[in-house]
Structure 1
Amino acid sequence: MARPSSPSGSTFSVIGADVTIKGDVTASTELHVDGRIEGDVTCDSLVQGESSVIEGAVSAEIARLAGQVRGSITARQLVVLKSARIEGDVHYDALTIEQGAQVEGRFAYRLSEGQTGDRNASSAATQADDGEPKLTLAQ
């Protein structure tokens, strides 16, 4: 697969298994993490390898976690694979957890923009989306 030469045209970024980053990481594209990050991670899409460790908050539109995370997680779509070990609170819009995943923390459904805490309120936004948390247990 050919990779664009300019950083602005990159389709994804990779942090290899032999890399340790001390500090916050921000990516505007998909981020693959196989190494260790000691800091917060903010990106559009995060794919975490089984042997990777993130010690800090994770914020992503889409996150697929297979390694260890010590910190809060906020994601619109979150997939927690069976090899994942999470220590921290999880905020999500849609959540899939494989059997065997370990999470020590609280799960909280994230209200989308335009929604209020009153789930009985009738509006076009709440009629199109019932506002209920979406949880999928994978096998």
Structure 2
Amino acid sequence: MFSKKPEQQTPRVSQASNFMSSKNSTFSVIGSDVTIKGDVSASTELHVDGAIEGDITCASLVQGEASNINGAIKAESARMAGTLTGSITARELVILKSAKIHGDVQYDALTIEQGAQVEGRFALQGSQNTGSTKGKSAAGSDEEPKLIVAN
């Protein structure tokens, strides 16, 4: 009456192998206790709370207040809150009041909170930084650079 019928056994896949095979992760985190010496590349969003000595290339970067990056950054979007010694190139860049940037900044859209510290040159991406408005692009675009100062 209470006997079990033999069930068809399906192979069990460990959680570790499921995790390892998941290539569609939405973000990667570098924890506050981690220091990386070397270049870092990510195809998605990267959260940095630790220290990196090297260049970073990623789709989106979020830097924590206590983090320290020593190298160049290239990202579609970046939200900077910690210390950066090096250049940054981002289409959309947000510099929070806790940020300390020592290097050149290239951007398409820029937001800077009051109190942020930046020592370097600002340049619109694609501009030759000539100091004049005579050199328009081949398409003749009159698009104004976007700068937003947040309170």
For residues 10-60 of structure 1, give each alpha carbon's deviation from its aligned partner in whole angstroms, at most 9, with x where no partner exists.
Answer: 100000000000000000000000000000010000000000000000100
Matched with 1:138 is: 150
Structure 1: gaps of 5 or more residues: none
Q: Is the 8 A contact 1:54 1:69 kept in 2?
A: yes
1:107 to partner: Cα distance? 0.2
* Cα RMSD for the two superposed structures: 1.8
* 1:12-51 equivalent positions in 2, closer than 5 A: 12-51=27-66
1:119 CA drift (Å) = 2.9
Q: Residue deviations 1:62-99, cap 9 Å, x none? A: 00000000000000000000000000000000000000
2:97 and 2:72 map into 1 onto residues whose CA distance is 20
Cα separation, 2, equivalents of 1:18 and 1:43: 21
Number of aligned pairs? 127
Q: Is the 8 A contact 1:81 1:101 kept in 2?
A: yes
Which amino acid in 2 is paired with 1:118?
G
Distance 2:33 2:137 in 1: 50
Which structure has the bigger radius of gyration? Answer: 2
Write the distance in 1 (CA, Å) between the matches of 2:94 and 2:61. 10
The question of 1:64 aligning with 2:79 is answered yes
Q: Percent identity?
A: 69
Which residue of the partner structure matches residue 96 of structure 1? 111
Give the Å deviation of 1:133.
1.0
The one of 119, 128, 138 aligned to 2:136:
119
Q: Distance in 2 between matches of 1:58 and 1:120?
A: 25
Find the counterpart in structure 2 of residue 8 from structure 1: 23
Please tell me the residue identity of whatever aligns with 2:124: Y
Point out the structure with the larger strand share.
Answer: 1
Structure 2-normalised TM-score? 0.79
Structure 2: unaligned runs, 5 residues or longer: 1-17, 128-133
Q: Offset at 1:118?
A: 3.0
Residue 131 of structure 1 and its aligned partner are, at CA, apart by 2.4
Q: 1:120 to 1:36 in 2, by over 3 A?
A: closer
The question of whether the paired residues in 2 share the 8 Å contact of 1:119 and 1:131 is answered with no
